[in-house]
Structure 1
């Protein structure tokens, strides 16, 4: 039987969920488009980028393959893969806003 969801679909869902959370919490992100691409066209001095922030165009592009394949997970399961994707969305949005990623959703990480 074919998989119910592909890896790319799960990635898109994780990006979309994190982006919607950030848009609801930060008015500055409401008009920003979060896009998913496979690979960047070129690498930079730091290696292969995981995302690209285009502030003038109000766009954040997340590159699926580098995020999925080049990040090291201490546990390789669905939860930790989703957390890695969400952390990249938060870090890209923080770069867009020129803030620390932890400032974007402090209540999201607080355990009651």
Structure 2
């Protein structure tokens, strides 16, 4: 070797993090059911309920927006008395289409397990669609449980 010229040094390849615990990554792969968040599962329950009702009421529900919010606003509607609402129907107003909103946290708190949550979401959506159609919830969905 001649003086003044050095061999280029390559950095060692790191296969572990600096404390030797190994590479970090996802705890659950995306293809496992537990990877989805509670909010994503709740959205799926609402979509399932809407699809079930659209099979029977597609024409009447055309243009209606369905939404999920975490909690209801702090000021209740004038017609609401008492407890926390689980959902709300907003009629068409000033160029806005009719909207049905389901409030995720109050519904989740009342549910015992996932099956109960799915049934409760369906009931809330049926009640709000009944307000929209000016019908009884039993007429909107024969499987409605009061």
Judge conservation of contact 2:88–2:100 (CA < 8 Å) in 1: yes
Shift of 1:43: 4.5
Distance 1:53 1:7 in 2: 23
Instruction: For CA contacts below 8 A with separation 6 or more, give which structure has more relative contact order.
Output: 1
Q: Name which of structure 1's ranges 36-45 and 85-94 shifts more when overlaid on structure 2.
A: 36-45
Higher helix share: 1
Per the alignment, residue 25 of structure 1 pairs with: 56
Distance 2:114 2:64 in 1: 27
Instruction: Say how many residue pairs are matched.
Output: 103
TM-score of the superposed pair, with normalisation by structure 1? 0.81
Shift of 1:55: 1.2
| Matched residue SS, 1:13 | helix
Shift of 1:35: 0.3
Distance 1:58 1:103 in 2: 20
* Runs of 4+ residues deviating >3 angstroms: none
Distance 2:69 2:47 in 1: 13
TM-score of the superposed pair, with normalisation by structure 2? 0.64
Unaligned stretches of 5+ residues in structure 1: none
Q: Is structure 2 residue 92 aligned with structure 1 residue 61? A: no
Q: How do 1:1-112 and structure 2 match up within 5 A? A: 1-2=27-28, 3-26=34-57, 27-44=59-76, 45-56=81-92, 57-69=97-109, 71=110, 73=111, 76-106=112-142, 109=143
Distance 1:4 1:21 in 2: 26
Shift of 1:39: 0.8
Distance 1:103 1:20 in 2: 17
Distance 1:22 1:30 in 2: 11
